[in-house]
Structure 1
Amino acid sequence: MSLTNKQKQFLKGEAHPLKPVVLLGANGLTEGVVAEIEQALEDHELIKVKVPEEERELRQQMMAAIVRETGAEQVQVIGKTQILFRPAKEPRMRLPRA
């Protein structure tokens, strides 16, 4: 699934008031964290994940791994916060058409 610019703009607006639901800890990206992100995506479809890694290159690698492992679409990255979207099995959020 690939989001259009119009859909990304819509999702950015929807994500603005959200607080991060998953915060990576000192152990980084573990199986438990990936499972937590998977569950949050299934429950909410649109989530924020906080990656508190100081080194930019390592943080980008972690964010890329999250997208790869979950199959979610990255909507935006603001500093250390990543916005992810993945439609649930029974989608609740309606995206604008392309």
Structure 2
Amino acid sequence: MNLTTKQKQHLKGLAHALKPVVMLGSNGLTEGVLAEIDGALTHHELIKVKVASADREVKNAIVDAIVRETKALKIQQIGHILVLFRQSEEMKIAIPKAK
């Protein structure tokens, strides 16, 4: 699924008020954390994840792994906060139509 810039901006606006639902700690990306992110995406569609890592390369590798394993779209990453979107069967979030 590819989103247009306008659609991504809409999702960023919706994500602004959200708090991170999953926070990665010193243990890094484990199977349990991935399962939690996957469950949160299924339930909410749009979530924030806090990736606490001092090393930028490690943080980017973790973000890439999360996106790959959950099959979610990376909407935005600012500092340690990652915004992910994955549409569920019920389509809880209405996305503007692509023109």
TM-score range, shorter chain: over 0.9
Stretches of structure 1 that go unaligned for 5 or more consecutive residues are none
The size of the alignment, in residue pairs, is 98
- Measured in 2, the distance between the counterparts of 1:82 and 1:35 equals 16
- Measured in 1, the distance between the counterparts of 2:23 and 2:2 equals 25
Q: Which residue in 2 is equivalent to 1:22?
A: 22
4+ runs of 1 displaced by more than 6 Å?
none
TM-score normalised by structure 1 residue count: 0.98
1:23 to partner: Cα distance? 0.2
Give 1:26-65 correspondences, 5 Å limit. Answer: 26-65=26-65
- Measured in 2, the distance between the counterparts of 1:29 and 1:70 equals 12
1:48 to partner: Cα distance? 0.2
SS of 1:36 mapped into structure 2: helix
TM-score normalised by structure 2 residue count: 0.97
- Measured in 2, the distance between the counterparts of 1:10 and 1:38 equals 22
- Measured in 2, the distance between the counterparts of 1:65 and 1:55 equals 16
1:89 to partner: Cα distance? 1.8
Please report the RMSD computed on the Cα atoms of aligned residues, expressed in angstroms: 0.5
- Measured in 2, the distance between the counterparts of 1:89 and 1:25 equals 31
Q: Which residue in 1 is equivalent to 2:7?
A: 7
1:85 paired with 2:94, answer: no
Deviation string, structure 1 residues 31-76 (Cα, Å, up to 9, x no partner): 0000000000011000000000010011001000000000000000
Identity %: 58
- Measured in 2, the distance between the counterparts of 1:4 and 1:74 equals 13
Q: Which residue in 2 is equivalent to 1:97?
A: 97
